[in-house]
Structure 1
Amino acid sequence: MSYFTIAGVQMHALHHGDNTEAMRHRVDVLMSRFPQVQMVLFSELMPMGASPHHAQPMPSHAEQFFCELAERHRIWLIPGSMFEQTDQGVYNTLSVINPRGQVVARYRKMFPFLPYEAGVESGTEFVVFDVPNVARFGVSICYDMWFPETTRTLVAMGAEVILHPTMTDTIDRDIELSIARTNAAVNQCYFFDINGAGAIGNGRSIVVGPSGDVIHQAGTGEEVMPIEVDLNRVRRERETGLRGLGQPLKSFRDRRADFTLYRSESGSSPFLDTLGPLQKPLRADVEEY
């Protein structure tokens, strides 16, 4: 199968609290209106809001709720992410649920938005999963996209589509739109960057094709985005080049350059070590009049 339909859902929700019932309603309406949809993707921290105080061990009641929803509609479902409580601390965790209502993968966000997302641990495992006879998908969350190594590694693991829930309510959203396009182009993949709206994001979700082309960019309000992707397009462009031109994945594979920075276990360098601690900016002292 070359064609596959993915619906991104950009919706208003409570910043702190249970949004699962509102998400169920949205999926019910979506599937009634667009029965061709095969996968549904929500934004980061949509189910239980943005407070780590709502963290739960997994599997959780909320995750099971979404398993039943996926099975009812026979869809692949990525309900954003939720804070997961473990013996090692709290993680920002995404669940991948198949049409039989089974959790086939969980991904823990590698790059919490430090120093602001304090108290959240960093995941260490890259996650891809296969939709049989369709494609391999990779997942990442929000701030992960700012680190090109994350998408490049998922693509090196075979991902043709990157599913990327985010919760951006800050003034850097315009930069993220450029990063989404760049990630898609340099890795020759589809990139679904789905943001929340209102209290849980400032919208402007974006879906990008493997040439870095914008397939759709949402506004700032609620929006449902059913997008049919063509996996043959990914495979053809990886073979012949972006618009018949650059073939970045092959060039990366065949490179002669050795990136010495990555030989260090910490990924650090004498220069990076001069940058000081990772902390919130402090207010400068000003003279009172």
Structure 2
Amino acid sequence: MTILGIAGIQMPVSATADNIDMMERYVAHVRKRFPWVSVMVFSELCVFGSHPVHAQPMPGEAEQRLQAIAAKYRMWLIPGSMFEQLDGHVYNTTPVISPDGVVVERYRKMFPFFPYEQGITPGDRFVVFDIPNVGRIGLSICYDMWFPETTRTLAAMGAEVIIHPTMTDTIDREVELAMCRAAAAQNQVYFFDVNGVGDGGVGQSCVVDCSGYVVHQASTMPEIMAVQVDLGKVRRERETGLRGLGQVLKSFRDRPVEFSVYNRVASVDDYLYTLGPLKKPGRNLNDGLSEDEEGDPLNKTMEISGPMG
């Protein structure tokens, strides 16, 4: 049996303040209250909120403060994400910090919530990391989950747990909860989805195990989700089948077909190019209030600080 203690922190996030001190208070509390926890996870853009004006280089001062917290409390720290400045671009980036205070990886969100999350550059690299003698962890951020290829790729790279910080403050949260269960079952992984509250989202974080069972479903209030993840169960079910039934990953491995929809020159996806450009819908032309996108001040605000996916 291989058990990994993970705590997801559904924390109140301020969009106008530095949230690192509050994050440290949660880490200190969990370290004392749940000494078996070795990994702590916060929500997407938890560090500074959702405004790209807070973007920082990495390495940088904010990341160094987070490194000091991880080292002080001897904890694997996945501090949600923050906007990163790099080579003239802004990324939505999750650092992975070891209990020694070392940044072992940085994952950049592959699917910014376009057309709303304007000005953010997509990442182009899948990230997994190993906790020595325990297991392999994969990372995705919020809207990444809507593209099942992301989770499937992480599973194919050996991830047994997917850490998924999110910042959802919109009415599609219930759809995401269904996707969490589907992602866990289809890929035989633990799926650890952590949303914020306040400016950071509507809560309802969830943990789903590799059988598709919901281990915990959070409320809409601040909450600590401290869970013992059984990696031995992941390995058994990948060998013998989910709930003793479908051997999903082995069936995918042994598939008799390739998916030509992913071959951009095969023209299988021609229909998708009939759907029009990826842009925000405008007002109804019949409501008497229509403005063009450039003239709508609300649109301009949303481009900076709109809902994240």
TM-score normalised per structure 2? 0.91
Q: Is the 8 A contact 1:16 1:50 kept in 2?
A: no
CA distance in structure 1 between the aligned counterparts of 2:150 and 2:253, rounded to whole angstroms: 16
1:129 Cα shift? 0.2
- Identity across aligned pairs (percent)? 59
Give the match for residue 145 of structure 1: 145
Mean CA deviation greater in 103-112 or 85-94 = 85-94
For 1:39 and 1:141, locate their aligned partners in 2 and report how far apart those are by CA, in whole Å.
Answer: 17
Q: In 2, distance between residues paired with 1:124 and 1:239?
A: 31
Number of the residue aligned with 2:248: 248
Structure-2 separation of matches of 1:143 and 1:116:
12
Q: Distance in 1 between matches of 2:95 and 2:266?
A: 28
Using the alignment, how far apart are the partners of 1:280 and 1:163 within structure 2? 29
Residue deviations 1:192-213 (CA, integer Å, cap 9, x gap): 0000012210000000000111
| Letter aligned with residue 43 of structure 2 | S
Taking only aligned residues, the RMSD between alpha carbons, in angstroms, comes to: 1.4
Q: Give the secondary-structure state (helix, strand or coil) at the position aligned to 1:200.
A: coil
Alignment match, 1:204: 204
> Residue 110 of structure 1 aligns to a residue in which SS?
coil
Q: Aligned in 2, Cα 1:217/1:101: closer, same or farther, shift over 3 Å? A: same
| 3-state SS of 1:65 partner | helix
Partner of 2:78: 78
Residue matched to 1:275: 275
Change (3 A) 1:133 1:114: same
1:120 is matched with which residue? 120
**Structure-2 change in CA distance of 1:260 and 1:47 (3 Å):** same
Structure 1 residue 16 displacement after superposition? 2.9
Show structure 2 runs of 5+ residues with no match.
Answer: 289-309
Q: Describe the SS at the equivalent of 1:271.
A: helix
Q: How far has the Cα of 1:88 moved from its partner? A: 3.9
Aligned length: 288
Task: Find the counterpart in structure 1 of residue 132 from structure 2.
Answer: 132
Matching residue of 1:218: 218
- TM-score, normalised by the number of residues in structure 1: 0.97
- Residues 266, 191 of structure 1: CA spacing in aligned structure 2 closer, same or farther, 3 A cutoff? farther
Deviation of the 1:28 alpha carbon:
1.1
Shift, 1:267, TM fit: 9.3
For the Cα contact (< 8 Å) 1:84–1:91, is it kept in 2?
yes
- State the Cα distance separating 1:257 from its structure 2 match: 1.6
Amino acid at match of 1:117: E
Cα drift, residue 51 of structure 1? 0.4
Partner of 1:234: 234
Cα distance change of structure 1 residues 266 and 158 upon mapping to structure 2, 3 Å threshold: farther
1:157 aligns with 2:157: yes
